[in-house]
Structure 1
């Protein structure tokens, strides 16, 4: 399997993490697991029909799909006929690029886009990065400044912050914060905070090379104890920390 990411032009860096491409090869024929990161995306299938959403969704050749934020893991089947091109958005960016349904209605789903929102396959094949940069530059709008401030607080704290502190620091009521998250991110604020904390712990495990115990990582990342850490990791990945 070949996987590559490309950074968008700098003027899109506030909205898009990356453009990515995945191509299967003769060694593939397995389910690949994706972990939640709080980000939505778009996928266009350039290969044969592809199973995703734990086998519940079939992505057809030439079709464009919107992928909602996830609150748990999902599996996709990759074989030598798989060829996917995708866009990974930053949190809350999707709703500033598309007039579409609230993000909470897309959570955990891969949904086919209507023709008006779909990519032009001919241009994708010719020069995908140039086409995608131009496509999203034409759609780009400013994102909600209050929500951006809240997201910055969450990421700077690596998910070690309470909803109470977020509302007080940003002069917003819990109800208004909930509405903003439902509309622009799809996940409740607490769920999103937990996912960022999970991603922080996962990154620490990958970079750590077993220099710290799981108990140390649990404490560093703000979990109550190692049992809490293990339960959260199993919920988001389907595996215990020791199995990752």
Structure 2
């Protein structure tokens, strides 16, 4: 990873893991802006950011469906919470259907967070954990939680029909739920999860499908659609521009 970037990643405690994938921190120590590409990864990120050029701000990203060109300003620090989709409904309690491939700027007093929270990443994780546990839902829809357990557990490899049969919920109802709450069909979301699950294989030089793609041509087509480049170009990751890809350790 680019030596000017500092990256940290923390898995949440067990009680939160059905709703939250991770806490993470990214800092650009350089005095220059860094151009990066943000790849679709199926996550919904709540960002707390500060830089020398901008005031403290909080934003919520929707689900990405295409590669996004972005620039990380000099001396920028970002702490983030990456939510799984149940966390959007039950913790954030905020529809993201209208912010596909974009982000929403939130009020400065969102969750009563102030910019000094960016002074200590460990403290940030503890504070946000306490905040989310305090707003835990009194009840959840077991059918939805089972659906997401199957989706994430299979890295999006199950068909919509199979998921429908497993949770006793019609495909039409599932897709209506996804469209209304998240802004895209379930099939599209599963494709993004398969794409993301291929990152470690590609980074380790395995340029053939391992995540239930139909065949080699399907694999190449899906990687290019969601990253903008062929698998071999993604593996090279010139100038560490694919930021999520850069943070994956080589095994």
Name the structure 2 match of 1:160.
157
Matches within 5 A, 1:59-98: 60-98=54-92
Name the structure 1 match of 2:243.
none
Residue from 171, 183, 186 that aligns with 1:186: 183
TM-score (normalizing by structure 2):
0.80
Shift of 1:143: 4.3
Alpha-carbon distance in 1 for matches of 2:230, 2:72: 24
Matches within 5 A, 1:1-244: 1-26=5-30, 29-49=33-53, 60-100=54-94, 102-115=95-108, 117-122=110-115, 124-125=117-118, 127-141=123-137, 142-206=139-203, 209-210=204-205, 212=206, 214=207, 217-218=208-209, 220-244=210-234
Alpha-carbon distance in 1 for matches of 2:143, 2:181: 12
Q: Where does structure 1 lack aligned partners over 5 or more consecutive residues? A: 50-59
Alpha-carbon distance in 1 for matches of 2:103, 2:152: 26
Secondary structure at the aligned position of 2:129 is classed as helix
Closer, same or farther: CA 5–94 of 1 in aligned 2, 3 Å = same
Aligned-residue CA RMSD (Å): 2.2
Alpha-carbon distance in 2 for matches of 1:67, 1:98: 12
Secondary structure at the aligned position of 1:93 is classed as helix
TM-score (normalizing by structure 1):
0.82
Alpha-carbon distance in 1 for matches of 2:59, 2:16: 20
Q: Where does structure 2 lack aligned partners over 5 or more consecutive residues? A: 235-251
Cα deviation, 1:150-183, whole Å, max 9, x if unaligned, reads 2222233333221111112211112210122224
Cα deviation, 1:211-231, whole Å, max 9, x if unaligned, reads x5x3xx32x332233222111
Cα deviation, 1:81-128, whole Å, max 9, x if unaligned, reads 21111111122211211333x221121111111345355215514632
Alpha-carbon distance in 2 for matches of 1:168, 1:188: 17
Quick check: 178-187 or 163-172, which moved more?
A: 178-187
Q: Is the 8 A contact 1:123 1:131 kept in 2?
A: no
Name the structure 2 match of 1:52.
none
Shift of 1:28: 5.0
Alpha-carbon distance in 2 for matches of 1:79, 1:117: 23
Alpha-carbon distance in 1 for matches of 2:213, 2:50: 41
Alpha-carbon distance in 2 for matches of 1:90, 1:98: 11
